[in-house]
Structure 1
């Protein structure tokens, strides 16, 4: 899969799935735009991307809950590269809580996991139409079934919304030649669990339980999810749109 001269914008690119995807695209000759809040992490990923094929990535430090920062992502990308071929909406956070914990958690989940993807995609659409490009949203199996181990109601709702966004957008943009798909990981070994408020001990306990109980007896690695993102963004998937691709070691069927 060759992405030579194609511009790929990836949010949440400083670590985890976003970082793995960025490095993988760079290895396929893409011009990568790294978006995130952690400047140190972004610089580390940029170094690995540049080492792949000698193409220096564009780093954009942005807070996606701030509309001006979201607009800056598109403006800076067009100023430097002049086009957008692929948008990977990967940024998101795990938010724990149930219905009795207040509506603020719902607002935070939607404002972090759904609204920025909606706004950023809307701003990228004219350029994606010009390039006949595509969007890959990184969602979760939590959008398709509840998480059993702990209350994650706001997070699950936000990911369900992102899945429907994928389907509706695919219908809207298909006639203009723009594809939209989603990758929905199950438990993945990234910083997600810690960022959601678990201690390291709790995280290790959760990982150990998943390794013992998932049908494939293992958790997903971020580079495996990145492989699927790359495939859906490539011309090999040129007839695929509006699809939700689960990668979860069988977790959905437990």
Structure 2
């Protein structure tokens, strides 16, 4: 797979799955615009991308919950690259919370995971229609598998799956494909950002691996490989799909262990 002369816009690219995506797309010769709030981390990712491709990506420091920042993302990408072929809606947050924790965790998660992605996608669509490009959303196995300690997050990812399917129907007549990847547990800083300490996070990954049918958890690069496939011409007949990459989480008997 190569993305020569293709422009790929990736949100949440400063760490984890987003950072792994940036490096893989760089290796495949894509022109990149990478977005994140942590500019220092973005610079490190950019260095890795330049090592792979010989070209530095466009770095955009932005918060997709802020409408002016969303406009900035699109403007800077178009000013630099002139077009957009692929949008990877990867940015997302989680909070370990249930209904007893009130509405604030839900509001915060939905603002980033859904509203932010919706605003950015709305502004990018005209450019994707012009290039007959595509969108890959990062969802989760928890869109369909309940975890009571992460109720707002599960709700946001269920919404992301429906967003994916509705967009795929709405944009198909313009030749724009829309899909999602739905990871299970991934070895990133996801749970530490949700409130766990590093020691608890490491133990959690070990426990997940022991319970999952494949006896392992995904790495960021595994998910990135699925994303780059869906974004490529090899997946030209795939749209409206929510692709599990979960080491068997969905079919296994994974209990709530957070």
Q: TM-score range by the shorter chain?
A: over 0.9
Q: 2:216 aligns with which of 197, 218, 234?
A: 218
> Could you tell me how far 1:53 is from its partner in structure 2?
1.7
Cα displacement (A) at 1:109: 1.0
What per-residue deviation string (whole Å, max 9, x for no partner) do you get for residues 168-193 of structure 1?
00000000000000000000000101
Q: Give the distance between the partners of 2:111 and 2:56, measured in 1 at CA.
A: 31
Partner residue of 2:187?
Answer: 189
Distance 1:70 1:169 in 2: 19
Greater Cα shift, 223-232 or 95-104? 95-104
2:105 matched to 1:105?
A: yes
Counting matched residue pairs gives: 252
Distance 1:194 1:64 in 2: 21
Partner of 2:125: 125
Report the equivalent of 2:246: 248
- The DSSP-based 3-state class of the residue aligned with 1:181 is strand
Find the counterpart in structure 2 of residue 234 from structure 1. Answer: 232
Deviations 1:56-88 (A, max 9, x none): 100000011111001100000000100000000
Query: Residue 151 of structure 1 is aligned with which of 124, 149, 158?
Result: 149
Q: Could you tell me the TM-score, scaled by structure 1's length?
A: 0.98
Report the equivalent of 2:11: 11
Scaled by the length of structure 2, the TM-score of the pair is: 0.96
User: Residues of 1 paired with 2:220 and 2:199: CA distance?
Assistant: 21
Q: Residue 179 of structure 1 corresponds to which residue in structure 2? A: 177
Which residue does 1:204 correspond to in 2?
202
CA drift at 1:32 = 0.7
Question: How far apart in 1 are the matches of 2:76 and 2:199?
Answer: 41
Residue 253 of structure 1 aligns to a residue whose secondary structure is coil
Cα deviation, residue 98, structure 1? 1.0
Q: 1: CA distance between counterparts of 2:72 and 2:128?
A: 17
User: What displacement does 1:19 show?
Assistant: 0.3
In structure 1, runs of 5+ residues without a counterpart are none
Secondary structure of 2:250's partner?
helix
Secondary structure in structure 2 of the residue aligned to 1:183: strand
| Separation (CA, whole Å) in 2 of partners of 1:159 and 1:167 | 13
Q: Please give the alpha-carbon distance, in whole angstroms, between the structure 2 residues aligned to 1:19 and 1:36.
A: 10
Whole-angstrom CA distance in 1 between matches of 2:45 and 2:104: 33
CA deviations on 1:75-110 (whole Å, 9 max, x unpaired) are 000001000000000000112211111111111110
Partner residue, 2:256:
none
